[in-house]
Amino acid sequence: MTRTVRDLMHPGVLACKPSATLGQVAVLLSQHHVHALIVTDNKGQHLGIITDYDLLAGEWLAVDAESLAAMQKLTAADLMTFPMDSVDAATTVRKAAHILNARDINRLVVTENGHPIGMISVSDFVAGIASKEKPARATVADVMSDSILVCRVNTPLISAARTMTQAGWRSVLVVDAKGKALGVVSGKDLMPFVEKGIDLALTVREVMDPALTIDMTASLREAADKMIQNHHHRLIVTDKEDPEAFPLGIISSYDIVAEMANPSSVWQK
C-alpha cells in the first residue's frame, strides 16, 4: 500500500504568538523538543512558520551591543517564513519528498481540509527509509549497528538511516580509520532516496557532505555565521591544536537555540 504523509508525520502543531521574542521562541522549541513552531494570531489564523534555523539569525547578527539590542526586539512575526510550505495529509510520501527536495526545505506543515494537523520533516522521511530495511538475524553482524553517531565511509547508507532514527539523531559523522572527520551525512542528504528509492549498495561515501569544522573555542555567533553562510545545520567541533584528531563533538542549530533558551542567556533578558 502506498504510504502517505499521514503515516510519517508528527501529529499536532505547536504554535506561538506573532509577538513572541526570539528568546521566547527558543524556550518553546527547547521545552517541547521541536524544531519549528507555527505562528498564530489571536483569531487562530496561521501566519507563518519559525524554525530553529531562523533563530540562528539572532546569534549571527548580534555582532555588537547595538545589533544585539535590535535583534532582542525582533519577534516571531519578523523572522517567520510565510506563506508556509504545506502538504495535504493524503499526499504520497514520494510526492511530499519531491516537494521538499525541489524547494530545498526541511519541513512541511501537514494539512487536512486546509487546516494544519501536523508537521513532517526530513527526520520523519529518514525514519521512513530506515523502516524499509528487513535485516536478517542470522549472525551478530546482521543485527549490530554499523553506526551509532559515528561511522566509516563504507557504512551502507541504509544502515546510517536506521542508526539515525534509532538514536534520534539528525546526522552521522563519517570518520577515517584514525578518527579524522571526513564528512557528515544528514537527513537532508537522504531525501533524494525517498523520492527515487534507495540502492542498498550505496554507502555514506557517496552522499556525505564534506566536513565543515569549527574550533571548540569559537563563539556561538561564529558557529551561527558558518551554518548560515554554508547552509548547514550542524558543524563538527574540533580542537585547532590537533585538527586531525577525532572530533570533540557536533554543534547543531538546535544546540544554539537551546542555549538561547537558557535562563542566563542574553536572549532571556
Partner 1 sequence: MINQSIGMGEQGRNERDKFESELDRIIKASDATGVILRVIGSLAFQVHCPKFGYLQEAMGRAYTDIDFAAYRSQAKEVKSLMASLGYSENREVFIVSEGERSIFDRTSAGLHVDVFYDKLDFCHTILWEGRLEIDRPSIPLSEMLLEKMQIVQINEKDIIDTIMLLLEHPFGDTDDEVINIKRISILCASDWGLWRTTSMNLDKVRQLAQGYGQLKDEQKKHVSIQVESALARMEKEPKSLAWKLRSRVGDRVKWYKDVDEVE
Main-chain phi, psi angles of 7, to 5 degrees: -70, -30
Residues 6+ apart with CB under 8 A from 100: 106, 107, 108, 122, 125, 191
Candidates 28, 29, 38, 71; binder of partner 1 (CB under 8 A) is 71
Q: Which of residues 142-201 bind partner 1 (CB under 8 A)?
A: none
Candidates 41, 70, 143, 145; binder of partner 1 (CB under 8 A) is 70
- 157 dihedral zone (left: phi>0; alpha: psi -120 to 50; beta): alpha
Q: Which of residues 41-60 bind partner 1 (CB under 8 A)?
A: 53-54, 56-57, 60
Candidates 3, 15, 78, 94; binder of partner 1 (CB under 8 A) is 78
Closer CB to partner 1, residue 2 or residue 229? 229
Quick one: DSSP state of residue 267?
G
Closer CB to partner 1, residue 162 or residue 221? 221
Closer CB to partner 1, residue 231 or residue 269? 231
Q: Which of residues 220-249 bind partner 1 (CB under 8 A)?
A: 228-229, 231
CA pair distance 178, 244, nearest whole angstrom: 9
The count of residues interacting with partner 1 (CB under 8 A) is 18
Q: Which stretch binds partner 1 (CB under 8 A): 67-75, 143-151, 180-188, 194-202?
A: 67-75
Candidates 73, 103, 115, 240; binder of partner 1 (CB under 8 A) is 73
Q: Which of residues 116-145 bind partner 1 (CB under 8 A)?
A: none
Residues 6+ apart with CB under 8 A from 211: 174, 181, 182, 183, 184, 236
Closer CB to partner 1, residue 53 or residue 267? 53
Closer CB to partner 1, residue 60 or residue 155? 60
Place of cell 495535504: 88
Tell me the C-alpha to C-alpha distance, in Å, between residue 234 and each of 9, 42, 186, 211: 23, 35, 9, 10
Closer CB to partner 1, residue 66 or residue 242? 66
- 93 dihedral zone (left: phi>0; alpha: psi -120 to 50; beta): alpha
**Does residue 255 belong to the site contacting partner 1 (CB under 8 A)?**
no
CA pair distance 87, 93, nearest whole angstrom: 10
Candidates 3, 30, 67, 268; binder of partner 1 (CB under 8 A) is 67
Closer CB to partner 1, residue 157 or residue 251? 251
Give yes or no for a contact between 84 and 40, defined as CB atoms under 8 angstroms apart. no
Which residue ranges make up the site for partner 1 (CB under 8 A)?
53-54, 56-57, 60-61, 66-67, 70-71, 73-74, 78-79, 104, 228-229, 231
